[in-house]
Structure 1
């Protein structure tokens, strides 16, 4: 299939200033959107607990938000999730800032309740009466997720007494079940107690507020991440994009020529910036999946740019009588059919994901679709024209001058032969 007839050329360089003006406007809008309204960071980056719940009956988002706030959770986000299936027709995404990790105050309260001897050995007068030997923990450990406590005892532990010790602590609640706490190692007298996570507590509270006939026993999905881990993930995501751009610049400089590298990098920054701005303006969450989409855009865009650069390099050696702008027009025109075919194929795939996908898939497809559009555009109107400007401004039109010198030498040799 041929979209462009062989031999047909387009004056891309003649329209480059119009294209650059459009790109500058889009980038300016993206930069402004980054500060206001600002990116809507997901739980991956800012921390918190996220539940996806399929309610059993029709429920209003405002009603869910009011119920969550009445349970003591701060600034909840309640988002309706579209699902064409009848089984989960009333799905909502509920996100709160609280996480399951235990605070230092809660850990200290658990240590006191579990009768762990302090390091200085100082105990209260009623310690012996309150803490029998079979309910006096010699060692206690907390899981990073804050949903499990491991305790070790000198003698065979009294599970009923231990359960009573862990009941009544503010913000701490044992999971329901007969085997909680449970002995996991009889030889070492090791006991584990399962605590309710923030997600479990939130779901239980919703069941009390809205009724058991509307709130299910379990959530479809529960995820949480601490603020510190979220900040580390955010910094790692920024570093991954920056490092990839630096190495791509080095690759282009080594693969082609130093003057080609800046154009490729400007095109990459252009594509990632506009795609990120589109995500912010459409109020889509910035998550790890979004970062994966941006890195995919970087790879897709530079591949298209390298194809154009490769044809420019071939035509520089093949058509020595043409100027650099004419070489760019010829090269892009020759590759235009291939570019349209590739972009159309991948773009249609992303459109299908955007229409029929769900959740994170839709955001990924949206970011990648914008990246495909601006990536195709930037290979034609950003990378190649910028390379021509670099050659003319910083290298004094060295490519064109070399052609002139070559033609002059050829004429002199012809005159000498005559």
Structure 2
């Protein structure tokens, strides 16, 4: 007996409310762009500049105690993470404390650093401070440029890959879906003012890959069915393709979300922003694969006189259930 999240054979009309779903996507993208320019992002230390203090101690690290000791200093955005390394001895406990630059200064002042060291020494006399490093505005600006460039290059590589593997209409649909996912993720971070740092850029790149995977599976089945049903209306072939891959889509997204929600609840503050971005990205990525990419392809149209038979590449696992 197998668990089935969706029936073996479905015939849902995913174009029934195409104007509503596609219009909602366009409106959401526009709203996200407006939020980005009007509200802005809550940039973390990586993009705003600040100071990183490395600590070492022979006693076990309690991040909560460290955070409480620094809470009364009015430091603003403070990130405390414990560093793990196989080379560390049992009596070597290392943390990284990242503090946002204050009052548009390039780094935390020496006076504030001394206050931090005094506060931590009070709760752990064995603590030492082997290094203090600052990230200035120039480096932060370069990080922003590099982050934006990395996302654009990833999307550009997707455009070329889909164009070579399928047709240019498919490439435009896939890239539109990826831009939709990235824009909505940036928009939700702007709306909720969740800290935006380099970890979120990593999440965006992961979302691009995840969403592309879903889209390619549907496109593979669509290409196969276009060769199989040459006289069937394009809209009907698309609906058939999405229905045939629906079980795989639901199982993949569902199991991924289970793991992400567990991390979101139990993972702690250090990875919460990254996990939230991934959770949101899986949801909008699955939505865009079904309701955005295929609508673009339907609007552009594809040629129907392919004579080459399909080998079913990339779709042999489309109907797998748990």
Q: State the TM-score, normalizing by the size of structure 1.
A: 0.60
1:220-259 residue pairs with structure 2 within 5 A?
A: 224-259=134-169
Matched, 1:310 2:220: yes
- Distance in 2 (CA, whole Å) between partners of 1:294 and 1:272 is 7
Q: Give the whole-Å Cα distance in 1 for the aligned partners of 2:158 and 2:286.
A: 18
Kindly report which structure 2 residues correspond to 1:370-389, keeping only aligned pairs within 5 A, or say none: 370-389=280-299
Q: Say if 2:207 and 2:281, in contact at 8 Å, map to a contact too.
A: yes
Q: Distance in 2 between matches of 1:254 and 1:26?
A: 30
Query: May I ask how many residue pairs the two structures share in their alignment?
Result: 280
1:332 to 228, 231, 242: 242
- Note if contact 2:22-2:295 (Cα within 8 Å) is conserved in structure 1: no
- 1:9 — aligned with what? 11
Distance 1:57 1:319, change over 3 A: closer
Greater RCO between the two (CA within 8 Å, min separation 6)?
A: 2
CA positional deviation for 1:7 = 2.9
Kindly name which structure, 1 or 2, has the bigger radius of gyration based on alpha carbons: 1
The CA deviation at 1:222 is 5.9
2:181 to 256, 264, 271: 271
Maintained 8 Å contact 1:48/1:226: yes
Residue 41 of structure 2 corresponds to: 39
Corresponding residue SS for 1:343: helix
Residue 136 of structure 1 corresponds to none
Q: SS state of the match for residue 224, structure 1?
A: strand
User: Against the structure 1 CA distance between its residues 204 and 312, is the aligned structure 2 distance closer, same or farther, given a 3 Å change threshold?
Assistant: same
Give the distance between the partners of 1:56 and 1:5, measured in 2 at CA: 52
CA distance in 2, matches of 1:44, 1:278: 20
Aligned pairs for 1:355-366 within 5 A: 355-366=265-276
The one-character-per-residue Cα deviations of 1:300-344 (angstroms, maximum 9, x if unpaired) are 001100000000001111112310000010000010110000001
Of 45-54 and 13-22, the range deviating more from structure 2: 45-54
Unaligned runs of 5+ in 2: 55-62, 83-96, 307-322
- CA separation of 1:250 and 1:213: change in aligned 2, threshold 3 A: closer
> Deviation per CA, 1:17-54, whole angstroms, max 9, x where unpaired?
11112212321221122123211112212222145976
Measure, in 2, the Cα distance between the counterparts of 1:276 and 1:221. Answer: 34
Question: Which of 179, 182, 190 is matched with 1:280 structurally?
Answer: 190
Q: Which moved more, 1:212-221 or 1:290-299?
A: 212-221
Q: Aligned pair in 2 of structure 1 residues 212, 51: CA closer, same or farther (>3 Å)?
A: closer
Query: Is residue 293 of structure 1 aligned with residue 216 of structure 2?
Result: no
CA distance in 2, matches of 1:220, 1:301: 43
CA distance in 2, matches of 1:271, 1:212: 45
Distance 1:222 1:302, change over 3 A: farther
Q: How does 1:6-405 map to 2 (within 5 A)?
A: 6-50=8-52, 55=65, 61=71, 63-65=72-74, 76-78=75-77, 94-97=99-102, 98-99=105-106, 198=108, 201-206=111-116, 213=122, 218=128, 224-391=134-301, 398-399=303-304, 402=305
RMSD of aligned residue pairs (Cα, Å)? 3.1
Q: Deviations over 1:74-111 (max 9, x none)?
A: xx41459799xxxxxxxx964224456xxxxxxxxxxx
Distance 1:94 1:31, change over 3 A: same
Report if the CA contact (8 A) 2:162-2:170 is conserved. Answer: yes
Whole-Å separation in 1 of the counterparts to 2:237 and 2:205: 30
Aligned residue for 1:372, secondary structure, equals helix
Shift of 1:233: 1.3
55 and 207 in structure 1: CA distance in 2 versus 1, 3 angstrom threshold:
farther
Q: Verify the 8 A CA contact 1:51 1:199 in the aligned structure 2.
A: no
1:268 is displaced (CA, Å) by 0.2
Counterparts in 2 of 1:13 and 1:319: CA distance versus 1, 3 Å: same
In the superposition, the TM-score normalised over structure 2's length comes to 0.77
Q: Is the 1:55–1:215 Cα contact (8 Å) retained in structure 2?
A: no
